[in-house]
Amino acid sequence: MALLDKTFYIETFGCQMNVHDSEKVIGTLVHEGYRQVETEIEAALILYNTCSIRDKAEQKVFNRLNDYKALHKKGKRFAVLGCVAQQEGEKIFERAPYVSLVSGSASYRKLPEMLAQLEAGEERITGLDDRQTDETFETEFTARSNRHRGYITIIEGCDKFCAYCVVPYTRGKERSRTSHSVLAEARRMADAGYTDIQLLGQNVNSYKDPSGKMSFAELLAAVGQVAGIRRVRFTTSHPRDFTRDIVEAIDAQPTLCDHVHLPVQSGSSHVLKRMQREYTREWYLERIAWIQAARRPISLTTDIIVGFPGETDEDFEQTITLLAQVQYDAVFAFKYSPRPNTPAISMEDSIPEEIKTQRLQILLDRQREIQRKNYCRHIGEIVEVMVEGHNTARGQVFGRSSQNKVVNFTVDAPILPAPGNYLNVRITQAFPNSLLGEAVVSGREAAQMHLSIQDASIEISIV
């Protein structure tokens, strides 16, 4: 069945890496003459960009495919992309025979030729890279979904092989871009009007410049010095490769956001060893001390897994005491779930589901109280906020601070500032997950910052 109508719908599951991967896919599709539509019903080609990190991720994908398999009889074609595609491979065709294309993220550079095969009527097309390629992981075209904030992937893959994690098996070995390539893309984005850039990688601070010119901290500073860039973020860091010069770069370069996401996973050295994280609680806390000693107050966030095999009550209590010691501004906490091909799947001493649930709730309750106190410290402060949108029902504007905290605020002006503007906001109230305030700007200044409604068409940038 040849693909004649070049319309597509894409749904993305997972992290910011997957979101940016979808931008690459969309950009390539648009360049190949495809048109993006809002629903599966409108599309001739339906793509699911998948994530395999969470529990039963592959089953969720198959359930979604099953929900829409009737659309195949109407001539629609299906593609499964990303981590589940790489993990399950051609088994996807066996479980969902109406799927026509399966591609891992390392093969997106081959999308044009795979699309040509699809258009010619081929029924089973695979793009399953061996994940060891040193070829660039950037596609030629990227569709930026946000006109003011953009992503740049600087490193792909992971060499860490944590016992619970499937990423090394789906994303392959660590592969870094040259600093020249990263900076060239940052300049193009700045020239196109982007002011907020986020550097991405499974372990972003494990970056190793193939040209040998820059360390990760030096690259951070260099991106922050690009004319027109006002904010630079990076995610996700690994404690093993977190160095003191990263903190020094944040202190020295005002455009580098004062926020570090440093996943700890557990507060117990015993559990960390079983997880194969290759650091201890003490090692991690030394890096936290560097961050907390910075001249600028740096917001700290983390990831935590509860209920890892062998986690005792004492181990879990050490995680709770770590929360109190570090005082995170946010914690992304999850119950351990076994993932295919990982060492932890065969570990003994599994934790009952009810215990995992209980521990997760205890952790979330403790963390909520910490955040309630932390956020209250901002009351009375003036913070710079990048506008992201408007809540018309409440008459508020919302955006994020440099510390990546959500700020809802009012503006005393007849016209609300458009997304992409930066305003100073005086914080008047605090909640566990957001701040409330008032813009410190006159009505005339706010009106001057208003931008006309922008064209909603997709912007394609050459990488």
Read off the pLDDT of residues 7-21 as tens digits, 9 standing for 90 and up: 999 998 877 778 888
What average pLDDT is seen over the chain?
A: 89
d(CA 77, CA 70) in angstroms, rounded, equals: 11
Closest CA to 358 of 294, 422, 409, 313: 313
Per-residue model confidence (pLDDT) at position 449: 58
Residue 224 has pLDDT above 80, yes or no: yes
Bridging pattern class, strands 434-439 and 422-430: antiparallel
Residue 453 has pLDDT above 50, yes or no: no
Q: What is the mean pLDDT of residues 326-333?
A: 98
Q: What is the mean pLDDT of residues 360-387?
A: 98
Q: What is the mean pLDDT of residues 216-245?
A: 97
| β-sheet bridge partners, residue 424 | 384
Closest CA to 268 of 311, 303, 331, 328: 311
Residue 235 has pLDDT above 70, yes or no: yes
* Sheet of 196-200, strand order: 149-153, 196-200, 231-235
Closest CA to 122 of 70, 77, 65, 69: 77
> How many residues are given for the chain?
463
Share of the chain above pLDDT 90, in %: 65
Q: Is 24 exposed, middle or buried (0-12, 13-18, 19+ CB in 10 A)?
A: buried
Per-residue model confidence (pLDDT) at position 428: 98
Angle at 46 between CA 41 and CA 48, to 5 degrees: 125
Q: How confident is residue 450, by pLDDT bands cut at 50, 70 and 90?
A: low
Q: How confident is residue 456, by pLDDT bands cut at 50, 70 and 90?
A: very low
Closest CA to 364 of 331, 324, 413, 408: 331
Per-residue model confidence (pLDDT) at position 286: 98
The reported pTM is 0.83
pLDDT tens across 68-92, in order?
778 877 888 999 998 888 888 888 8
Q: What is the mean pLDDT of residues 424-430?
A: 98
- Name residue, tokens 């006159």: 442
Tokens describing residue 115: 């699309």
Ordered by where they begin, the domains of the chain are 7-127 (3.40.50.12160), 382-449 (2.40.50.140)
Per-residue model confidence (pLDDT) at position 130: 55
Q: Is 83 helix (H, G, I), strand (E, B) or coil?
A: helix
| β-sheet bridge partners, residue 426 | 382, 438
Tokens describing residue 340: 């295919």
